[in-house]
Amino acid sequence: MIIDCHTHLEFYADKQYGANQLIDSMKKGKIEKALVYAGEMFNCSNEKLLKEVNPFRKKLFPVGSVSPFSKTRPTPQQVEKLLSSGEIFGLKFYNGYEHFYPSDDILKPYLALLEKFGLPAVFHSGDTWNQVRGAKLRYAHPLNFDDLAVDMPNLKIIIAHIGNPWTIDAAEVVYKNKNVYVDCSGLVHDYIKAEDKILLKRLFSDYFLFGGSVDKVLFGTDWNLCDQNDYANFFSRLFRSRSEKKKIFYENSIKVFKLQNYV
What DSSP assignment string belongs to 184-214? --SSSSBS--HHHHHHHHHHHHHHHHTT--G
Q: Tell me, what's the pLDDT at 133?
A: 73
Cα gap 18→27, rounded to integer Å: 15
DSSP 8-state class, residue 243 = H
Shortest CA distance to 227 belongs to which of 253, 183, 188, 184? 188
pLDDT (0 to 100) of residue 132: 64
Q: What are 39's strand-pairing partners?
A: 44
Q: Which helix or strand (DSSP H or E) is residue 68 part of? A: none
C-alpha–C-alpha distance, residues 7 and 196, integer Å:
20
Integer Cα distance of 12 and 4 in angstroms: 23
Instruction: Please state whether beta strands 3-8 and 180-183 pair in parallel, antiparallel, or not at all (unpaired).
Output: unpaired
pTM comes to 0.95
66-96 per-position pLDDT tens digit: 999 999 999 999 999 999 999 999 999 999 9
Q: What is the pLDDT of residue 130?
A: 60
Range of the domain at 30: 3-262
Residue 215 belongs to domain with CATH number: 3.20.20.140
Please give the helix or strand (H or E) that residue 62 lies within, else none.
Answer: strand 60-65
Contact yes or no for 8/224 (Cβ under 8 A):
yes
Asked if residues 205 and 167 have their Cβ atoms less than 8 Å apart, the reply is: no
Query: What's the confidence (pLDDT) of residue 260?
Result: 95
Q: What is the per-residue pLDDT for 70?
A: 93
Q: For the chain, which ranges sit under pLDDT 50?
A: none
pLDDT tens-digit readout, 187-219: 999 999 999 999 999 999 999 999 999 999 999
Total structural domains within the chain: 1
**Residues with Cβ within 8 Å of residue 4, at least 6 apart in sequence:** 26, 29, 31, 33, 34, 35, 219, 220, 221, 223, 228, 232
